[in-house]
Amino acid sequence: MVTLTEPGPPVVTVRRRGRPALLGIGLTALILLGSAVHLTQGTANLGALDVLRLVFGGGTGDTAAVVLESRLPRLLAALVVGAALGVAGAVLQTVSRNVLASPDTLAVNAGAHLAVVAVAAFGVSLPLLGATGVAFAGGLGAAVFVLALSGTGGTGIVRLVLAGTAIALALISVTQVLLLLYAQETRGLFAWGEGALEQNGLGGIGTLGPLAGVAVAVLLGMARHLDLLQVGEDHARTLGVHVGRVRFAAIALAVLLAAAAVTLAGPIGFVGLAAPALARLLASAVPGLHRHAALIPVAAALGAALLLGADVLLRTIISAQRALEVPTGVVTTILGALFLVVLARTARITSATAEPPAAGARGGVSVLRYRVVLGVLVLAAVGAAVGAVLLGDAKLLLGDVVNWLTGQAGPLVTGVLDTRVPRVVAALLAGAALALGGALTQAVARNPLAEPGMIGVVGGAGLGAVAVITLVSGVGFWTLTGSAGLGAALAMAVVFAVAARGGFTSERLVLIGFGVHAASQALVTLLITLSDPWNETKALTWLGGSTYGRTFTHLVPMALALLLVAPVLIRMRRELDLLALDDETPRVLGVPVARSRLLLLACAVLLTGAAVAGIGVLTFVGLVAPHAARAIVGSRHSRLLPAAALLGAILVCPADTLGRTVIAPGQLPAGLMTAIIGAPYFVWLLYRHRTKSLRGR
């Protein structure tokens, strides 16, 4: 009996040892099959038999020209870029000890994209390697900054996503400003900003392919040091590894790979997150895959397979001609966002990003101080409104405004104020609505770093509005408002439903919301490129949030939303304080948690949808205004909500004024200004929370 049972374990061991070879064979076959299908896709009338004839020495000169000048460069670009992003993501995850680290979440792609656009905007002509160097500098700066904010201890999973999202939003906003100001110099870079594999011959591949290969070879040479670094810094130091040097070299090489990918095909989203994450998931079934000598090649192969598959899928779903207009990065972003949502549901998340919003509710300020602060905020809002009315491409005086109000102004002043006053009021109402929506979202999510923009609600509203604009001709304003509200409601429903099914936590909510936000932005780009690819200014103005062309009719949805929500918030101010603490306390005190949460979320959706329909997509307002209000009046919502609404109006109104005056008669969207203004404040918040968490250890 002993002899019969002893051979069992060696058989299992042999089977497990054969899995790496099977994985390698499977990935190779998948890439070869995908490449064969890819070569048969295109606008020219060439099938699989024509390509096979060319491979075996037959075929015509026209066939060779199409394959060698168009299809083969696109195929090689997909393989090189996918492999580079896969390796970059794997290395960045190791260095940060964070499974969600990637060129996207570390803002590497956004920094590299901004650098490339800035060079083009200012008319600087660089060779391909020079452009790669510029992209490398931008990406490296962004990555170092995000890692400094989030830390590299492996515990700040949500903090890394929040930091990377905030920095990326700020960098993208600056990029959009440059695209608007230098539309001629940067023509075509809007769609390229989502990643496009189309190549002009083999020159780019021949230059950047070997560079990426050298970077991967150096990282393979560092595999043992990366293995030790993944185990822990103290263990690595004990074995003689210079942690600081290894970490910086690994980050630099990973960013170089991402920069080469951006230079070659634009910022392609989520491949650098999904490929190494899949490789690490396979490590439980494939022995030795956790070691970087195997992890790096597998991540490269998975990245190449994912990007190649996305491009094949794109050209299979739509015609080859239309596929030339749609960035491949749109498909990878949508698929990657779905992968992130699944990963967020299954990941074990134990680190909190911050204390609950109402944790300090028992503190707060005295009644007298609160009234003084509220009075100051009211005066500041009035001052911002008056300044916004007087400033613009035509400067006015208070007397002109008085004459306009009494009907005694001249035609010039009347024309200016008839267009300017609705814009000012729109900015005030939108700021107040988004601030209240952010305060409600933070209370329900119990996370002061959450806001409608970062959990996908603003993106959903923008997607709903853009879908109606691009798909329905001559759409009316009320239809646009309804579609924005519906998009916001659907996004909120998806985020909270998925988060609840995966074990509702505020951290999980933020991660899922980030995925929904990324997917909605990719779908917006898809709609714009398919319907109106040449009108980039119109798209950027809408996505940036603008009060341009607003009339008093456009103010009605925001005013109605505020009027409808105000009585509900007054009635539920105490429930808000309790819900922001935990689930048990309000239940003990008789608060129907599920119903109250649903009602408050409906209010947040109504406010957000109305604001997006009114002036477009604005970011950071729903985060900055409630947090600043909490800092100056305390966390009791009876005081927090009025202060947050006033601060939101104060933030958006001057931002809109700056956008109208800084390059007058040209204009910049208000949303771009709020992102540029709000990002530094959010960075300070993250830094402060990280400092607090380090002190608490």
**DSSP conformation class of 359:** T
Q: What average pLDDT does the structure give for the chain?
A: 79
H/E stretch holding 589: none
Dist CA 86 CA 84 (whole Å): 5
216 close to 576: Cβ distance less than 8 angstroms: no
Q: Compute φ and ψ for 191, nearest 5 degrees.
A: -65, -35
Residue carrying the six token digits 């985020």: 495
Q: Compute φ and ψ for 317, nearest 5 degrees.
A: -70, -45
Question: Highest mean pLDDT: which of 175-184, 211-220, 401-410, 526-535?
Answer: 211-220
In angstroms, the Cα distances linking 552 to 163, 412, 419 are: 38, 19, 9
Residue 359 has pLDDT above 60, yes or no: no
Res 16: pLDDT: 59
Residue 13 has pLDDT above 50, yes or no: no
607 close to 434: Cβ distance less than 8 angstroms: yes
CATH of the structural domain 367-695, one choice from 1.10.10.60, 1.10.10.10, 1.20.1300.10, 1.10.3470.10: 1.10.3470.10
242 close to 233: Cβ distance less than 8 angstroms: no
For the stretch 466-501, pLDDT in tens is: 888 777 776 777 887 788 888 888 888 888 778 776
For the stretch 316-346, pLDDT in tens is: 887 766 766 677 888 888 888 888 787 777 6
Mean pLDDT, rounded, for 36-64: 64
In angstroms, the Cα distances linking 53 to 41, 50, 66, 73 are: 16, 5, 13, 19
Q: Coil, helix or strand for 127?
A: coil
Amino acid at 460: G
- Which tokens hold the place of 575? 């429930």
Cα 249 to its chain centre, rounded Å, is: 27
**Composition of the chain by helix, strand, coil, percent to 5:** 75, 0, 25
CA atoms within 13 A on the CB side of 162: 32
Name the residue with higher pLDDT: 46 or 95: 95
Amino acid at 323: A
Reduced 3-state DSSP string for 477-535: HHHHHHHHHHHHHHHHHHHHHHHHHCCCCHHHHHHHHHHHHHHHHHHHHHHHHHHCCCC
* Domain 73-339 of CATH type 1.10.3470.10: yes
Res 424: pLDDT: 92
Reduced 3-state DSSP string for 157-219: HHHHHHHHHHHHHHHHHHHHHHHHHCCCCCCCHHHHCCCCCCCCCCHHHHHHHHHHHHHHHHH
Q: Where are the alpha helices (DSSP H) in 347-476?
A: 367-390, 398-405, 411-445, 457-471
Stated pTM of the model:
0.78
For the stretch 541-598, pLDDT in tens is: 666 777 877 888 888 889 999 999 999 999 888 888 888 777 777 778 777 877 888 8
Other C-beta atoms closer than 10 Å to the C-beta of 220 total: 14
Is the peptide bond prior to 267 cis by the omega test (within 30 degrees of 0)? no
In angstroms, the Cα distances linking 561 to 132, 333, 434, 552, 564 are: 48, 33, 11, 15, 5
374 close to 632: Cβ distance less than 8 angstroms: no
188-191: long-range contacts, CB 8 A cutoff, minimum separation 24:
189/116, 189/117, 189/120, 190/536, 190/539, 190/540, 191/325, 191/327, 191/525, 191/529, 191/533, 191/536
For the stretch 377-386, pLDDT in tens is: 999 999 999 9
264 close to 74: Cβ distance less than 8 angstroms: no
In this chain, the answer to whether the domains covering 73-339 and 367-695 adopt an identical fold is yes
Res 20: pLDDT: 80
Dist CA 124 CA 24 (whole Å): 44
Q: Coil, helix or strand for 100?
A: coil
Q: Where are the alpha helices (DSSP H) in 283-327?
A: 292-317, 320-323
Name the residue with higher pLDDT: 548 or 255: 255
Name which of 579, 657, 565, 575 is nearest 611 in CA terms. 565
Span of 370-374, 431-435, 588-592 with lowest mean pLDDT: 588-592
For the stretch 515-539, pLDDT in tens is: 888 888 888 877 877 776 554 555 5
289 close to 282: Cβ distance less than 8 angstroms: yes
Dist CA 501 CA 164 (whole Å): 26
The dihedral formed by the CA atoms of 33, 36, 42 and 47, expressed in degrees to the nearest 10: -120
Name the residue with higher pLDDT: 475 or 406: 406
With cut-offs at 50, 70 and 90, classify the pLDDT of residue 614: confident
Q: Compute φ and ψ for 95, nearest 5 degrees.
A: -65, -40
Name the residue with higher pLDDT: 273 or 153: 273
Domain ranges of the chain: 73-339, 367-695
Res 10: pLDDT: 47
Q: Coil, helix or strand for 615?
A: helix
Res 14: pLDDT: 43
With cut-offs at 50, 70 and 90, classify the pLDDT of residue 126: confident
Name which of 695, 165, 140 is nearest 449 in CA terms. 165
CA atoms within 13 A on the CB side of 30: 17
CA atoms within 13 A on the CB side of 168: 23
Residue carrying the six token digits 């409104």: 385
Amino acid at 82: G
**DSSP conformation class of 554:** G
Other C-beta atoms closer than 10 Å to the C-beta of 391 total: 18
**For the CA atoms of the chain, what is the radius of gyration?**
27
Res 541: pLDDT: 62
Name which of 266, 591, 604, 314 is nearest 438 in CA terms. 604
Q: Coil, helix or strand for 151?
A: coil
**DSSP conformation class of 667:** -
Q: Coil, helix or strand for 657?
A: helix
Res 96: pLDDT: 82
